[in-house]
Amino acid sequence: MTERLPWHQEPWVRLQRSRQQNRLPHALLLAGAEGLGKLAFARRLARSMLCEQPDEHGDACGRCRQCLLLQAGSHPDLRLVSPDEDSSVIRIDAIRDLVSGNTLSVGENGHRVFIIEPAHAMGPGAANALLKTLEEPIPGTLMLLVSSSPERLPVTIRSRCQLLRFSPPEQNMALSWLQESGLSPADAREALGLAAGAPLLAQKRVADGALQQHRALKEDFLSLARGQARPVTVAEAWLKQEDLEPLLVFLSAWIMEVIRRRQVQGEQLSPLQSQHDGVDLKALYRLLDSLHDIRRASANNLNAQLALESILLEWSHITRG
Ligand SMILES: [Zn+2]
């Protein structure tokens, strides 16, 4: 029932130990990049708190009355607050409604869990409404704030929660988990690179067709290097499919990969091998600098077509001597 993500093992054990010693804080801020399973962790913890007979790992038993209520999605003591479907903001009323329930007695099993996700979607009003409850915690109530941008939360909120930070797992752990979920080693590696090391995001990107798109972009990039395509045409085609920023991110990653391969003596290069042999490392670094300049400038009304064209033209020049 509970998916136990391997990179959650360490924080899970730590929290369960605190729980056994009655040192579990009343509010936790689960912070870290997208795609690390923070919400899944919060739900697992909530189930664990509400279950009548957790197993030896602290996980919910899946059989007791509380667990059955949880599975039916109708447990009165677990509340999840998120923005409404058509909004990116958590309403003040939603938080007021949540915390006013606090004046009632504690839940069925002596526990109540509130999850706020994403917590940074609370505006100043909603955050204020939550603050009082964070300052005067109600016994038995655990608040779980989940956020990929904790810096967007008011300091007053952050300072009243214990921080639980999630980082991307070690690469080998992430790769084997992705392979167990059905990806080939090559796809797993490529997807993980596209997701900055976050396994669940990598999985999502694969499902969204990001690998094919990534490969198509690479193919165009190689065509430019072979002189089989024109920068103007490629830039136009790319911008029809994608915004400038993700394209620049892709290009930076690709150039860094080319540089890395250039530096590794004797490594076989992909279809580009012959061209790359002649590519000047300094020119590649200059190209990387140009990319960073454009990314910095792209906040100010940049002409995307011209910017992308200039990069592709530079690439085409350095790869074709
Ligand atoms: Zn149970």
Rounded to the nearest whole angstrom, what is the distance from the C-alpha of residue 305 to the centroid of ligand 1? 57
Confidence at residue 100, expressed as pLDDT on a 0 to 100 scale: 84
Confidence at residue 27, expressed as pLDDT on a 0 to 100 scale: 97
209-319: what CATH class? mainly alpha
DSSP state of 27: E
| pLDDT above 90: residue 67 | yes
Higher pLDDT, 319 or 278: 319
* Tens-digit pLDDT profile for residues 293-312: 888 886 666 788 999 999 99
Rounded to the nearest whole angstrom, what is the distance from the C-alpha of residue 7 to the centroid of ligand 1? 24
Q: How far is it, in rounded angstroms, from Cα 34 to Cα 25?
A: 24
Rounded to the nearest whole angstrom, what is the distance from the C-alpha of residue 302 to the centroid of ligand 1? 56
Q: How far is it, in rounded angstroms, from Cα 217 to Cα 311?
A: 14
Q: How confident is the model at residue 7 (pLDDT cuts 50, 70, 90)?
A: very high
Residues contacting 135, CB < 8 A, separation 6+: 160
Rounded to the nearest whole angstrom, what is the distance from the C-alpha of residue 63 to the centroid of ligand 1? 5
Rounded to the nearest whole angstrom, what is the distance from the C-alpha of residue 127 to the centroid of ligand 1? 32
In this prediction, residues 189-194 reach a mean pLDDT of: 88
Rounded to the nearest whole angstrom, what is the distance from the C-alpha of residue 91 to the centroid of ligand 1? 32
Rounded to the nearest whole angstrom, what is the distance from the C-alpha of residue 79 to the centroid of ligand 1? 17
Q: How far is it, in rounded angstroms, from Cα 232 to Cα 31?
A: 42
Q: How confident is the model at residue 238 (pLDDT cuts 50, 70, 90)?
A: very high
Rounded to the nearest whole angstrom, what is the distance from the C-alpha of residue 57 to the centroid of ligand 1? 13
* Tens-digit pLDDT profile for residues 76-122: 899 999 999 989 999 999 999 988 865 555 666 788 999 999 999 99
Rounded to the nearest whole angstrom, what is the distance from the C-alpha of residue 84 to the centroid of ligand 1? 30
* Tens-digit pLDDT profile for residues 175-187: 999 999 999 999 9
Confidence at residue 11, expressed as pLDDT on a 0 to 100 scale: 96
Q: How far is it, in rounded angstroms, from Cα 223 to Cα 236?
A: 15
Quick check: helix, strand or coil at residue 88?
A: coil
DSSP letter for each residue of 196-211: TT-HHHHHHHHHTTHH
The answer to pTM > 0.85 is: no
| pLDDT above 80: residue 199 | yes
Q: How far is it, in rounded angstroms, from Cα 255 to Cα 285?
A: 8
Rounded to the nearest whole angstrom, what is the distance from the C-alpha of residue 276 to the centroid of ligand 1? 60
Rounded to the nearest whole angstrom, what is the distance from the C-alpha of residue 55 to the centroid of ligand 1? 9
Q: Is 142 left (phi over 0), alpha (psi -120 to 50) or beta?
A: beta
Rounded to the nearest whole angstrom, what is the distance from the C-alpha of residue 237 to the centroid of ligand 1? 55
Contact call for residues 200 and 35 (beta carbons, < 8 A): yes
Q: Torsions phi, psi of 116, nearest 5? A: -115, 120
Q: How far is it, in rounded angstroms, from Cα 300 to Cα 295?
A: 10
Rounded to the nearest whole angstrom, what is the distance from the C-alpha of residue 45 to the centroid of ligand 1? 12
Confidence at residue 1, expressed as pLDDT on a 0 to 100 scale: 43
Confidence at residue 244, expressed as pLDDT on a 0 to 100 scale: 86
Confidence at residue 83, expressed as pLDDT on a 0 to 100 scale: 96
In this prediction, residues 148-169 reach a mean pLDDT of: 96
| pLDDT above 80: residue 205 | yes
In this prediction, residues 163-171 reach a mean pLDDT of: 96
Residue 312 CA to its chain's centroid (Å): 29
Confidence at residue 285, expressed as pLDDT on a 0 to 100 scale: 93
Quick check: helix, strand or coil at residue 114?
A: strand
Rounded to the nearest whole angstrom, what is the distance from the C-alpha of residue 51 to the centroid of ligand 1? 4
Confidence at residue 298, expressed as pLDDT on a 0 to 100 scale: 67
Rounded to the nearest whole angstrom, what is the distance from the C-alpha of residue 62 to the centroid of ligand 1? 5
| Domain with residues 6-167, CATH architecture | 3-Layer(aba) Sandwich (3.40)
Q: How confident is the model at residue 271 (pLDDT cuts 50, 70, 90)?
A: very low
Q: How confident is the model at residue 203 (pLDDT cuts 50, 70, 90)?
A: very high
* Tens-digit pLDDT profile for residues 240-270: 988 888 888 888 888 887 887 777 755 544 5
Q: How far is it, in rounded angstroms, from Cα 262 to Cα 277?
A: 8
Sequence ranges of the domains in the chain:
6-167, 209-319
With a pLDDT cut of 90, the percent of the chain lying above it is 63
Q: How far is it, in rounded angstroms, from Cα 273 to Cα 258?
A: 10
Rounded to the nearest whole angstrom, what is the distance from the C-alpha of residue 164 to the centroid of ligand 1? 25
DSSP letter for each residue of 150-203: GGGS-HHHHTTSEEEEE-PPPHHHHHHHHHHTT--HHHHHHHHHHTTT-HHHHH
